[in-house]
Structures are given as structure tokens and as C-alpha cells.
């Protein structure tokens, strides 16, 4: 998606260790007009996919997910990264974060991820795909189907996308980073 | 706001200790159509307020804030509840949560909350107002002005709203809970 790629090249900041910071328009400050345009692009790419719910993980996934849900007029559920004491019928899984070198829990209530649900999962980044695989696990526990996964930015060199596609998941990423070697952002055309 | 009040009465769940759960349409599963309607209502209520930025706190504030930012075509910044290792020029403050009986850090980068900014703060709940007071502190540190504060739900019996209004802040809440005594939801007309 052209507008996103241009924005990454303009405002993305590259750090050692394959880190891309997009704090200026996605992860801390958000550009709502761009968010809406990205949501429209997801709607287009998943136009022939049968879904009844949008699913994301707090916190940076919420903005693109709510825009997609708004356009499709579908409920949006955000999985939580810690276990709220008041959550009923909790489904949980553990996700290992390479970036932070630690595991965290992702949980969702079975009240809102239900047998038969066909969910579109939306998130900001796809890197090694551990969070996405956690979502697949939660969906399986719930008896729900992940009908598609949409990411704003995929880091192709961390291969999570390859793994998800090999599982037969319909994955769409709006911008794909081939490499961040030598702190140069190299986008796939 | 009528649609929100009706939804609270229909889907809100009351628990001991003055806890209102709105996980069905705000805090876990979200209703994007209602989110947009609530954002429109904020735009109306702050129509005569000069603002250049929307500010919120992760995670439940993000959805209403991005909708307000989208309607007003303004950038939206979400303050974070833990200190990211990569945040530059961090402004931080400590917020005590009565609900959880513990303190947490709220932080924002001075790159995105700047001197002269006039921000509209949007959040899901206003209870004792500690999070909101933390935001006032962050804004002061940044040299920014909080031009208004909009909440989806205010728990009047926890008096944060009284304190903020006494400070001269323009506070708007779309639904005001008078009491949750005996687990009965009593809304202000």
C-alpha cells in the first residue's frame, strides 16, 4: 500500500537489531486518516472472505481493528496481554517475545470468541509470528476459525509470515520490509 | 447520551465494590458503530474548544480516541502504561489505581506531547480521576494544555469528575453513574 510505504520511508526509524520504530504514526502517535485508509485496504483484500468478527491484541492493534470493524459493521474483540481478575470464561495462551526476550500471556473471554466465529485478526506488526500463533491457539480453544490475518507491517526477514502462509492462513500485509540491515529500510515492491 | 445509557442498562454488569463491567461493548468486545456515535457526541460537546491533538491512555481509550481523531482529522497520541525501552524524551508520572490497589506508570514522549499543544483527553472511565490527574501532570511537564476531557462513563460516586471540574477543566461524560449500590445501576438523567 503506497501511502503506508511512503510514510514508513519518511517517518520510520531504524534501530540496531532489526527494530523499526513507527511511533510517529502507528505505535504512539497515530494518524487516524492513514488508519482509515489502511482499514479500507484490508476490507478490499479480504472482500471475498466470510467473517463475523474482528480480533486484535492490545494496544497497537486496536486502532486499525476498530476502523476495520467500523467499515464492516462487525464487533471487534481485543485480546489482553495480562489476565484481568474480572474476566469470565478466560482462554489464555503464552507468547514468547523475541524482542523483549520474555513470555507474556494473551487472553480472551470465551464469551466473545465463540464456537463457529470466523474472525479476521488485525495487528500492527508481523515479525516472527509468535503473537499470531498465540491467536491461532486461542481460536482453536474457542472453536473459532481464523479466516484471515491482516498486518500493517510485515518484517519478511523474521519469517513469521512464511510460517503462517505455510499453515494455509490467508495473510495480508500492507507493507513488507525485506531488510533493516545496516539500519537501512528496504521495502518489498 | 441515550444510546450509550440504554446499552449500559442492557449489557452492563455490576459487581461488588462499585465495579461496572462493560466488556460486551467497550472494554473487551467493542461496538464500532456505538464508538463512532460516541465520538460524534464528543465532537459536538467540544465544538467550541480549540484543540490540535487527541490524547488517551492505552488500552480501552484508544478506540474512542481514534474515532474522535478521525472525525476531527487530528493526530491521536496514546500514553503508555509501562515504560518502553525505546521511548525517547520520555515524560512519566505515577498513577495510583484504587481498583487494583497499586501504582502504575503513565508515560508519553515529549516528541508527541509538545509545548503549546492543546489536547482533548479521551478515556473510557472516569472514577476517582487519578489517571486524568496523571495526564494533567504529563501535560504540564510537556508545556501542553488540556483543553478538555471526555469520558464515555463517569462514576459520579467516586468524585473524580467533581475534582477535575473544580480545577476548571471542561469535562464531558456521555453517561454518568450515580450509584452502583446493591449492584443496581443508577444512571443520572
> What pLDDT digit, counting tens, does each position of A6-40 carry?
999 999 999 888 899 999 999 999 999 999 999 99
Could you write out the three-class secondary structure of A7-30?
HHHHHCEEECCCEEECCCCCCCEE
What are the pLDDT digits (tens) for B93-132?
999 987 778 999 999 999 999 999 999 999 999 999 999 9
Residue B123, pLDDT score: 98
Rounded CA-CA distance B126/B161 in Å is 7
Task: Return the residue matching grid coordinates 462493560.
Answer: B22
The pairs formed by B25-29 with CB atoms below 8 angstroms and a separation of 24 or more are: B26/B60, B26/B63, B26/B124, B26/B152, B26/B153, B27/B60, B27/B124, B28/A77, B28/A78, B28/A80, B28/A87, B28/A108, B28/A109, B28/A112, B29/A75, B29/A76, B29/A77, B29/A111, B29/A112
Rounded CA-CA distance A43/A55 in Å is 14
Residue B100, pLDDT score: 79
Helix (H, G, I), strand (E, B) or coil at B85: coil
- The CA angle B180-B181-B184, to the nearest 5 degrees, is 60
Q: Which residues of chain B have pLDDT under 70?
A: none
Q: Which residues of chain A have pLDDT under 50?
A: none
Cell numbers placing A107: 487472553
- The CA angle B52-B4-A26, to the nearest 5 degrees, is 40
B176 C-beta neighbours (distance < 10 Å), count: 18
- Put simply, whether A78 touches B (Cβ < 8 Å) is yes
Contacts of B35 in chain A (CB under 8 A): 66, 70
* Cβ-defined contact of B66 to A69 (cutoff 8 Å): no
Cell numbers placing A109: 473471554
Largest CA distance in chain A: 47
Contacts of B106 in chain A (CB under 8 A): none
Residue A172 distance to chain B (closest CA, Å): 22
Residue A109, pLDDT score: 97
Cell numbers placing B165: 471540574
Contacts of A108 in chain B (CB under 8 A): 28
Residue A63 distance to chain B (closest CA, Å): 6
* Cβ-defined contact of B66 to A62 (cutoff 8 Å): yes
Q: Are B91 and B67 in contact (CB under 8 A)?
A: no
Show the beta-strand stretches assigned E in chain B. 13-15, 19-21, 29-30, 53-57, 76-79, 90-97, 102-109, 118-126, 145-155, 171-179, 186-187
Residue B98, pLDDT score: 76
- Put simply, whether A180 touches B (Cβ < 8 Å) is no
Alpha helices (H) along chain B = 2-11, 32-45, 62-72, 130-142, 160-166
ipTM of the predicted assembly exceeds 0.90: yes
Rounded CA-CA distance A172/A70 in Å is 19
Amino acid at each position: 500500500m503506497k501511502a503506508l510505504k511512503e510514510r514508513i520511508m519518511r517517518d520510520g526509524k531504524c534501530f540496531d537489531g532489526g527494530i523499526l520504530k513507527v511511533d510517529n504514526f502507528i505505535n504512539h502517535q497515530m494518524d487516524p486518516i492513514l488508519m482509515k485508509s489502511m482499514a479500507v485496504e484490508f476490507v478490499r483484500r479480504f472482500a471475498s472472505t466470510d467473517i463475523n468478527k474482528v480480533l486484535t491484541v492490545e494496544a497497537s492493534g486496536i486502532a486499525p481493528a476498530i476502523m476495520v470493524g467500523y467499515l464492516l459493521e462487525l464487533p471487534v474483540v481485543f485480546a489482553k496481554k495480562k489476565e484481568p481478575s474480572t474476566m469470565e470464561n478466560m482462554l489464555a495462551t503464552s507468547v514468547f517475545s523475541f524482542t523483549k526476550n520474555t513470555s507474556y500471556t494473551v487472553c480472551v473471554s470465551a464469551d466473545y470468541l465463540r464456537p463457529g466465529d470466523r474472525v479476521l485478526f488485525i495487528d500492527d506488526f508481523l515479525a516472527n509470528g509468535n503473537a499470531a500463533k498465540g491467536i491461532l491457539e486461542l481460536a482453536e480453544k474457542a472453536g473459532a476459525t481464523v479466516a484471515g490475518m491482516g498486518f500493517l507491517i510485515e518484517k519478511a526477514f523474521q519469517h513469521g509470515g512464511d510460517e503462517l502462509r505455510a499453515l494455509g492462513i490467508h495473510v495480508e500485509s500492507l507493507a513488507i520490509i525485506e531488510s533493516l540491515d545496516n539500519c537501512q529500510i528496504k521495502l518489498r515492491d
